[in-house]
Amino acid sequence: MLYDKIMALYPSLTQQDFLTVITLQNDSDGKGDYIKAWNHPTLAKPTDEELA
Amino acid sequence: MSLVLQSSGGGQITIQEPTTASNFTQTLPAATGTVMVSGNQPAFSAYLPANQSISNDTFTKVQASTEEFDTASCYDSVTNYRFTPTVAGYYQINGCVGFSAGITGQAIATIYKNGSEFKRGSQIGALTNNPSISVTALVYLNGSTDYVELYGLISTATTPRTFSVDGEKISYFQGFLVRTA
């Protein structure tokens, strides 16, 4: 799952981060979870390769 | 006796007398606006028919696919689970999302408008029992392209992690026109 992959890359992320600077979303359209917004002040948005 | 108004478009509006011997007085408001009748007041109610698996910390659309009513066929219960009314105006939107037990973080119910979070409702902390939380909002919708959807989020390592159901009582989505634009 996307959340687990991101946490594996950045274990320091907290639940609060996912409610403030990072938004994961699933539109129930069969396309799965995706990063809707990534505004973390220090950690870079993971690349597609890192999330593959 | 009926009063027939011929429209410029070729159709007509008929004001029909009641089939009763009693007398009633109905006063039109001294204001400019659109008369609201049942035919131009969209309303819908739909609910999630079975538990929906969701990911941790991920805003997920509630697949409310079982319709209780959809007076103007404005709710998509098959593909997008969204309400796109055909009358511009101010809509009361209600949502309730049930969650699986064992939340260690937070649970949220929220209304999306046109694909973005618009009005967040209850946001609760750790609970062991199955919570159901609500969101309500008055939302302007333009009657053509604007739409609303119901999303939920859960923060917990506990699995299974789901939107939970109990018939039509939990995890539902509703809306109705309060007044036209």
Q: Does B80 touch chain A (CB under 8 A)?
A: yes
Q: Which residues contact A12 (CB under 8 A, 6 or more apart)?
A: none
- Which CATH class, in words, describes the domain spanning B36-180? mainly beta
Q: How far is CA B130 from CA A50, B28, B87, B133, in A?
A: 35, 49, 37, 10
Q: Taking an 8 Å Cβ-Cβ cutoff, which residues of chain A contact chain B?
A: 1-4, 15, 18-19, 23-29, 33, 36
Among A1, A15, A25, the residue with its CB nearest the CB of B59 is A25
Q: What is the pLDDT of residues B39-65, one digit of tens each?
A: 889 999 999 999 999 999 999 999 999
What's the pTM value of the predicted model, to 2 decimals? 0.90
Q: What is the pLDDT of residues A18-49, one digit of tens each?
A: 989 999 999 999 999 999 999 999 999 999 99
